[in-house]
Each structure stands twice: as structure tokens, then as C-alpha cells.
């Protein structure tokens, strides 16, 4: 393996869990997950095969989410960002140019927590 290949491997492959599962960042779950070579499932999807099922249970006892490392006052910011992502996608899917939080409130699409975040 060339030095360049080794460097790219170090950047894009953080290592193996239990020396057999490739670790990835799951964009859907916003956490670390592993991929089983046998069944191709990710540890965050609740599936698994005989080979990875028990390892997945053990893996989920680890701190694998950003939420595990944030204090309460920073979780509020994290939740706000996640909510913004969700409403941005939904608004753009409706061909709207921006999020109209008042309209979302009127239609019942904002939670009470989101009302506090965006309309206070």
C-alpha cells in the first residue's frame, strides 16, 4: 500500500469495531454505527444476523451519539439544529423558499418545544 493510500485509509476509515466491523457515521441516526460484512446491516437499524446481533447489543451500550457528550444547555442547541434540518427539508419539498414557523404553528406542525425555540 502506498503512503497516499495509507493516508486516505486513515482519514476515511477510522478503524474496525472488534477487529471485524467497519465503523461509519450514520447520517440518519447521527451516531457511530458499524457495518456487518455478513449481512450488510448497520448496527443502528435494529437488524442483524447471527454473527453481528450480540455485538450490536454490546456496541449500543457504548457512547455512540453526540447527545452522549453534550451537557443539558448544549443539547438545546443540538435539538434546535436537528429541528431546523427537518423543517428546512419539509419546506423545500413544498417548494417554499424558507421556513414559515407561524404557518407551521397554525397547521399544528410545530411541537411546543419548537414554538419556544423559534417563536419566542
Residues 25, 77 share a domain: no
- Of residues 95, 93, 91, 100, the one with CA closest to residue 118: 100
Indicate the pLDDT class of residue 108, thresholds 50, 70 and 90: very high
Q: Give the sign of the dihedral formed by CA 39, CA 42, CA 47, CA 49.
A: positive
The DSSP secondary structure of 8-26, one letter per residue, reads HHHHH---EETTTEEEEEE
Residue 48: domain span: 3-65
What is the rounded CA–CA span in Å between residue 81 and residue 109?
17
Q: Is residue 84 domain-shared with residue 114, that is, in the same domain?
A: yes
Phi, psi for 106 (deg, rounded to 5): -60, -35
52 DSSP 8-state letter: T
58 and 74, same domain (yes or no): no
Q: Are residues 107 and 76 in the same domain?
A: yes
Same domain membership, residue 43 and residue 15: yes
Spatial separation of the C-alpha atoms in residues 53 and 41, rounded to whole Å: 10
* 57 and 37 within one domain: yes
Q: Are residues 36 and 17 in the same domain?
A: yes
Q: Which of 65, 83, 108 is where one domain is finished?
A: 65
Q: Are 92 and 112 in the same domain?
A: yes
Instruction: Note whether 38 and 83 are same-domain residues.
Output: no
Q: What is the pLDDT of residues 34-61, one digit of tens each?
A: 999 999 888 887 678 888 999 999 998 9
Residues 91 and 59 in one domain: no
Boundary-marking domain end, from 26, 41, 65:
65
Based on the fold, state whether residues 43 and 86 are members of the same structural domain.
no
For residue 116, give the 3-state DSSP assignment: helix
Domain count, the chain: 2
Confidence of residue 62 (pLDDT cuts 50, 70, 90): very high
What is residue 10's predicted lDDT score, i.e. its pLDDT?
63
Amino acid at each position: 500500500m502506498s503512503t497516499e493510500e495509507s493516508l486516505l485509509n486513515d482519514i476515511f476509515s477510522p478503524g474496525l469495531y472488534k477487529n471485524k466491523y467497519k465503523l461509519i457515521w450514520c447520517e440518519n441516526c447521527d451516531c457511530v454505527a458499524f457495518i456487518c460484512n455478513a449481512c450488510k446491516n448497520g448496527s443502528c437499524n435494529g437488524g442483524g444476523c447471527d454473527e453481528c446481533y450480540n455485538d450490536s447489543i454490546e456496541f449500543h451500550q457504548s457512547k455512540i451519539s453526540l447527545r452522549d457528550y453534550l451537557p443539558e444547555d448544549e443539547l438545546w442547541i443540538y435539538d434546535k439544529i436537528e429541528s431546523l434540518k427537518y423543517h428546512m427539508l419539509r419546506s423545500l419539498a413544498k417548494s417554499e423558499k424558507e421556513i414559515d414557523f407561524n404557518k407551521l404553528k397554525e397547521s399544528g406542525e410545530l411541537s411546543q418545544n419548537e414554538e419556544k425555540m423559534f417563536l419566542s
